[in-house]
């Protein structure tokens, strides 16, 4: 009965590798047919060991722990390289992500992160213990076994990708060559770089969509019965199942109870007022602590004195609608700064998190094939010379054009782009007779112009009213993005399996319903194609006046019902999470960039968010200043600029402030006849925890206070030398096939 319970999680492995179970359930003929198919796929010499104890000693003063791993290894005396998947999502499930690498001549090892799955200890979510645990497995545990040739590769997406970036900062490196001793290659898919800015606090606003869902998944999976109940570490394909010993069963029960007891601690991570701002808690959970360029502020935390090895090959992937778009691109730009061109590669597609992190964006069957991963590991781990993605190591999907393009660099070099700006005008946008939105939002739909004239500064300043009873975001792409794109897989699968694009039928592919009552700024019809690739900034001046909360009792009710009753974490008056975030005089600036089609459809391309207290304020401004300009030391997109996130500064009622909102990187070609639209709202629910204080926000636009959105417009110079279109890959053909067939 214990084993039957696990069929839902490990049925694929059991069917493929467990002869005893098949013999009990299948006829001799059926068994022979299945084994013949398995052998033909290259698994005939497979041995599966479900429970291998990995005793991690005390390292750098961190607590020792017993982890558990599941191993698929080759029979016989041969030594093979090992692909490692370190996961909080249960090893018996995630080992399948690397399963198809086995026939390529690799052992596959999946390990539960401490405090998750069946592992001992406390889950500390990317904390220092995890960095050293994985590094120990790579440098000490695996090489000590007879089935290992001492070479290791890392694989996985999302959390498992971030774990790779963290472990890489702690691995053993040859002092003479700078080459890692055992870790020879990585394949991280969808990584964050900064725990505070990339995932938990977007522009100082709490992510309330993905974070609770994700924490619930990790804690929920940890509460499934332990795989230790299946048997000892000698349980394998030959049927030598060992009944678990009494002390192992006791250990499994203790670990399960520890997982239950630590849930309140995890919930308190984001109900602790001390974690509302950036600081050591987030620093030591951010891969950027291992970047070769260190924070100029000199902040120190665990691992901050170590560097990501420049001789460690990394193939990374991400999506333009991923929750980790910023993190993936920053890691490529900064962590791999000193890498040779042949030791790094980047693929960015039109994907949400599920697709980018699982590889589904590369091919709908990637978890069953792993062609690209096998090619990368064969080259970098086994030394099979295969220089693909060398001449052009960057492959990006240009939306709007709907075509893949190869590039020499990311970010695109200055030779590829021109600095451009569009200015916010106080003139109303012309009516588009084919677009109902032009009529419904005509009072708040303004022009977006290439150059300003006197007439652009006439009329009243645009007024944005924030009413907490009327929140924006639900019908936006934002909800899909920050719920990892789960529902959007409906339209994505039609592309991969039917070569059909039904995006226009999906409600989140048209922002107009969400934009009603927002401030919108729209260009005239474009006379030519305009491609924007990279991040954008919106700079503007605004003043805000605040009203009393719509209902303070409503906030109190949330505290009582959600925290005291459901979660059973009472919040003290001096440590009230809801009170601090929802009941302050703040403005939540939400900026969206949309591609407006001739008939009005407004497709969201990228977004940016900024809480007013987290603006890049000038710390040296005069106390008597009547206008509050930004910090002259601030540079947009500087990943090390963090003063406002560490020391937020509330705005004052009715005073004029300058803001800069950073919009996350994208790549989109706005076609001739389309329009570019930028929208401004004061909420993004359920993505961000809303501010419950009503406000009236005046965007001040005049000659002394221009408002503009700045970006890089891509040119077509030097085609074939620094870039080239991928012409032999149809729009929705899987990228995996292209990458495994071509050596650019």
pLDDT in tens, 642-690: 999 999 999 999 999 999 999 999 999 999 999 999 999 999 999 998 9
SS3 725: strand
Q: What is the pLDDT of residue 565?
A: 44
Question: Does the pLDDT value for residue 28 go beyond 70?
Answer: no
The answer to whether the beta carbons of residues 667 and 396 sit under 8 Å apart is: yes
pLDDT digits (tens, 9 = 90+) for 42-75: 788 888 888 899 999 999 999 999 999 999 999 9
The answer to whether the beta carbons of residues 525 and 675 sit under 8 Å apart is: yes
Contacts of 488 (CB under 8 A, 6+ apart): 352, 480, 506, 508
The DSSP element (H or E) to which 23 belongs, if any, is: helix 19-25
Q: What is the pLDDT of residue 240?
A: 42
* DSSP-assigned states of every residue in 664-702: EEEEEEE-TT-EEEEEEES--TTTBPPP-S-EEEEEE-B
Q: What is the pLDDT of residue 737?
A: 67
Domain ranges in the chain with CATH number 3.40.50.1820: 45-407
Contacts of 482 (CB under 8 A, 6+ apart): 207, 209, 210, 323, 686, 687
The DSSP element (H or E) to which 589 belongs, if any, is: strand 588-596
Rounded to an integer, what distance in angstroms lies between the CA atom of residue 416 and that of residue 441?
37
The answer to whether the beta carbons of residues 449 and 744 sit under 8 Å apart is: no
Q: What is the pLDDT of residue 547?
A: 81
Question: pLDDT band for position 576 (50/70/90)?
Answer: low
Q: How far are the Cα atoms of 126, 437, 515, 680, 709 from residue 445, in angstroms, in the given order? A: 44, 9, 10, 11, 16
Please compute the mean of the pLDDT values over residues 95-124 and round it to a whole number: 94
Higher-confidence residue: 504 or 721? Answer: 721
Please compute the mean of the pLDDT values over residues 598-615 and round it to a whole number: 97
Q: What is the pLDDT of residue 487?
A: 79
| Tokens coding 443 | 């009072």
Length of the chain (residues) = 744
Give the least confident one: 38-42, 55-59, 294-298, 379-383: 38-42
The answer to whether the beta carbons of residues 693 and 580 sit under 8 Å apart is: no
Q: Long-range contacts of range 17-25, CB-CB < 8 Å, 24 or more positions apart?
A: 17/43, 17/46, 17/47, 17/48, 17/72, 17/237, 18/48, 18/237, 19/237, 19/238, 19/239, 20/239, 20/241
Question: Does the pLDDT value for residue 304 go beyond 50?
Answer: yes
Q: What is the pLDDT of residue 493?
A: 72
Print burial letters for 479-508: b (CB count within 10 Å at least 16), e (below 16).
bbbbbbbeebbebbebbbeeeeeebeeeeb
Question: Does the pLDDT value for residue 397 go beyond 70?
Answer: yes
The answer to whether the beta carbons of residues 440 and 518 sit under 8 Å apart is: no
Question: Does the pLDDT value for residue 37 go beyond 50?
Answer: yes
- CA proximity to 485, closest of 191, 209, 229: 209
Q: What is the pLDDT of residue 87?
A: 97
The DSSP element (H or E) to which 211 belongs, if any, is: helix 210-222
Q: What is the pLDDT of residue 574?
A: 47
Q: What is the pLDDT of residue 500?
A: 78
Rounded to an integer, what distance in angstroms lies between the CA atom of residue 428 and that of residue 426?
6
pLDDT digits (tens, 9 = 90+) for 261-287: 888 887 777 667 778 899 999 999 999
Sort residue 517 into left (φ over 0), alpha (ψ -120 to 50) or beta. Answer: left
Please compute the mean of the pLDDT values over residues 173-186 and round it to a whole number: 97
Contacts of 372 (CB under 8 A, 6+ apart): 315, 362, 366, 735, 736, 739, 740
Q: How far are the Cα atoms of 56, 225, 232, 241, 242 from residue 245, in angstroms, in the given order? A: 21, 16, 8, 12, 8
* For the chain, percent of residues with pLDDT exceeding 90: 66
- CA proximity to 350, closest of 484, 473, 492, 222: 492
Q: What is the pLDDT of residue 178?
A: 94
- CA proximity to 144, closest of 66, 26, 55: 55
Quick count: other Cβ atoms within 10 Å of Cβ 422?
Answer: 22
- CA proximity to 391, closest of 689, 744, 139, 715: 744
Q: Are strands 708-714 and 588-596 parallel, antiparallel or unpaired?
A: unpaired
The answer to whether the beta carbons of residues 110 and 410 sit under 8 Å apart is: no
Higher-confidence residue: 625 or 308? Answer: 308
Cα three-residue angle 599-601-606, rounded to 5 degrees: 145
Which architecture characterizes domain 45-407 according to CATH? 3-Layer(aba) Sandwich (3.40)
The DSSP element (H or E) to which 15 belongs, if any, is: helix 7-17
Strand segments (E) across 303-459:
314-319, 344-349, 394-398, 403-407, 417-428, 445-449
Q: Please state whether the peptide bond connecting residue 686 to the residue before it is cis, i.e. omega within 30 degrees of 0.
A: yes
Q: Please state whether the peptide bond connecting residue 29 to the residue before it is cis, i.e. omega within 30 degrees of 0.
A: no
Q: What is the pLDDT of residue 567?
A: 42
| Tokens coding 664 | 């996350």
Q: What is the pLDDT of residue 299?
A: 75
* DSSP assignment letter at 146: T
* DSSP assignment letter at 30: H
Which architecture characterizes domain 417-476+511-552+585-714 according to CATH? Sandwich (2.60)
Higher-confidence residue: 9 or 319? Answer: 319
Question: Does the pLDDT value for residue 561 go beyond 90?
Answer: no
- Per the prediction, the chain carries an average pLDDT of 86
pLDDT digits (tens, 9 = 90+) for 83-101: 999 999 999 999 988 989 9
Quick count: other Cβ atoms within 10 Å of Cβ 225?
Answer: 15
pLDDT digits (tens, 9 = 90+) for 620-640: 999 888 899 999 999 999 999
Q: What is the pLDDT of residue 29?
A: 60
Question: Does the pLDDT value for residue 5 go beyond 60?
Answer: no
Q: Is the CA virtual torsion 680, 685, 687, 691 positive or negative?
A: positive
Q: What share of the chain is helix, strand, coil (3-state, %, to 5)?
A: 35, 25, 40
Q: What is the pLDDT of residue 381?
A: 98
Helices (H), 421-540: 437-440, 477-482, 489-498, 512-515
- CA proximity to 126, closest of 183, 87, 70: 87
Question: Does the pLDDT value for residue 334 go beyond 60?
Answer: yes
Task: Give the chain's end-to-end CA distance (angstroms, integer).
Answer: 53
Q: Are strands 344-349 and 394-398 parallel, antiparallel or unpaired?
A: parallel
Question: pLDDT band for position 34 (50/70/90)?
Answer: very low
Q: What is the pLDDT of residue 246?
A: 72
* DSSP-assigned states of every residue in 305-328: T----TTS-EEEEEETTSTTHHHH
Q: Which of 20-34, 291-305, 484-498, 544-558 has the highest mean pLDDT?
A: 291-305
Q: What is the pLDDT of residue 167?
A: 98
Rounded to an integer, what distance in angstroms lies between the CA atom of residue 72 and that of residue 108?
5
Domain ranges in the chain with CATH number 2.60.120.260: 417-476+511-552+585-714
Q: What is the pLDDT of residue 271?
A: 67
The answer to whether the beta carbons of residues 352 and 209 sit under 8 Å apart is: no
Question: Does the pLDDT value for residue 571 go beyond 50?
Answer: no
Question: Does the pLDDT value for residue 497 go beyond 90?
Answer: no
The answer to whether the beta carbons of residues 638 and 631 sit under 8 Å apart is: no
Q: What is the pLDDT of residue 569?
A: 44
Question: Does the pLDDT value for residue 16 go beyond 50?
Answer: no
Quick count: other Cβ atoms within 10 Å of Cβ 82?
Answer: 28
| Tokens coding 325 | 């778009």
* For the chain, percent of residues with pLDDT exceeding 70: 84
Q: What are phi and psi of 2, to 5 degrees?
A: -60, -45
Rounded to an integer, what distance in angstroms lies between the CA atom of residue 694 and that of residue 587?
9
The answer to whether the beta carbons of residues 687 and 604 sit under 8 Å apart is: no
Higher-confidence residue: 269 or 743? Answer: 269
Question: Does the pLDDT value for residue 103 go beyond 90?
Answer: yes
């Amino acid at each position: 009965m214990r084993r039957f319970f696990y069929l839902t999680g490990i049925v694929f492995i059991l069917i493929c590798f467990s002869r005893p179970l098949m013999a009990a359930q299948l006829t001799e003929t059926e068994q022979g047919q299945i084994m013949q198919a398995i052998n033909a796929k290259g698994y005939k010499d497979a041995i599966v060991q479900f429970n291998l104890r990995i005793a991690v000693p005390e390292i750098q003063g961190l607590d020792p722990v017993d982890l558990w791993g599941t191993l698929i290894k080759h029979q016989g005396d041969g030594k093979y390289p090992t692909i490692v998947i370190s996961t909080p999502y249960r090893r018996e499930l995630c080992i399948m992500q690397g399963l198809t690498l086995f026939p390529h001549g690799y052992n596959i090892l999946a390990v539960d992160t401490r405090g998750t799955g069946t592992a001992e200890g406390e889950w500390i979510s990317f904390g220092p213990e995890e960095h050293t645990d994985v590094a120990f497995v790579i440098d000490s545990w695996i090489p000590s076994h007879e089935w290992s040739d001492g070479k290791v590769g890392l694989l996985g997406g999302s959390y498992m990708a971030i774990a790779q970036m963290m472990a890489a900062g702690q691995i053993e490196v040859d002092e003479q060559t700078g080459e890692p001793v055992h870790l020879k290659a990585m394949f991280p898919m969808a990584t964050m770089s900064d725990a505070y800015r990339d995932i938990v606090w977007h522009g100082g606003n709490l992510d309330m969509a993905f974070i609770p869902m994700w924490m619930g998944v990790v804690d929920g999976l940890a509460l499934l019965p332990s795989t230790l109940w299946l048997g000892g570490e000698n349980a394998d394909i030959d049927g030598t199942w060992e009944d678990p010993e009494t002390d192992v069963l006791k250990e499994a029960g203790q670990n399960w109870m520890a997982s239950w007891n630590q849930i309140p601690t995890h919930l308190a991570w984001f109900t602790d007022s001390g974690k509302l701002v950036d600081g050591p808690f987030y620093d030591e959970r951010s891969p950027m602590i291992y970047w070769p360029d260190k924070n100029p502020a000199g902040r120190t935390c665990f691992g901050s004195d170590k560097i990501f090895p420049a001789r460690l090959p990394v193939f990374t992937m991400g999506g333009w609608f991923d929750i980790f778009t910023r993190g993936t691109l920053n890691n490529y730009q900064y962590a791999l700064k000193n890498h040779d061109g042949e030791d790094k590669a980047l693929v960015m597609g039109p994907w949400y998190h599920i697709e980018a992190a699982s590889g589904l964006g590369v091919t709908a069957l990637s978890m069953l094939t792993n062609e690209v991963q096998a090619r990368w590991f064969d080259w970098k781990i086994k030394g099979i010379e295969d220089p693909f993605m060398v001449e052009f190591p960057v492959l990006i999907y240009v939306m709007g054009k709907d075509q893949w393009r190869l590039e020499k660099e990311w970010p695109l070099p200055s030779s590829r782009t021109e600095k451009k700006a569009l200015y916010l005008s106080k003139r109303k946008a012309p009516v588009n007779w084919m677009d109902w939105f032009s009529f419904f939002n005509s009072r708040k739909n303004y022009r977006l112009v290439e150059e300003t004239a006197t007439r652009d500064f006439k009329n009243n300043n645009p007024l944005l009213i924030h009413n907490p009873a009327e929140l924006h975001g639900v019908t936006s792409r934002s909800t899909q993005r920050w719920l990892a794109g789960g529902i959007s897989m409906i339209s994505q699968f039609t592309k991969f399996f039917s070569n059909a694009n039904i995006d226009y039928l999906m409600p989140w592919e048209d922002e107009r319903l969400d934009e009603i009552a927002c401030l919108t700024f729209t260009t005239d019809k474009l006379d030519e194609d305009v491609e924007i690739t990279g991040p954008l900034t919106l700079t503007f001046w605004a003043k805000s006046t605040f009203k009393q909360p719509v209902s303070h009792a409503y906030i109190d009710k949330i505290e009582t019902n959600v925290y005291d009753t459901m979660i059973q974490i009472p919040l003290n008056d001096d440590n009230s999470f809801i009170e601090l975030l929802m009941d302050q005089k703040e403005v939540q600036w939400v900026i969206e960039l949309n591609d407006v089609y001739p008939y009005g459809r407004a497709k969201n391309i990228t977004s940016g968010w900024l809480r007013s207290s987290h603006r890049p304020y000038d710390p040296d401004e005069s106390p008597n200043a009547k206008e509050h300009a930004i910090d002259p030391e601030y540079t947009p997109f500087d990943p090390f600029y963090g003063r406002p996130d560490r020391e937020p500064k509330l705005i004052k009622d009715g005073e004029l402030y300058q803001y800069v909102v950073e919009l996350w990187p994208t790549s989109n070609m706005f076609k001739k006849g389309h329009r570019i639209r930028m929208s401004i709202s004061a909420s993004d629910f359920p993505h961000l925890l809303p501010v419950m204080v009503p406000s009236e926000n005046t965007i001040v636009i005049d000659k002394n206070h221009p408002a503009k959105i700045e970006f890089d417009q891509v040119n077509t110079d030097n085609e074939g030398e620094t870039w080239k279109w991928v012409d032999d890959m149809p729009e929705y053909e899987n990228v995996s096939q292209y990458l495994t067939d071509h050596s650019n």
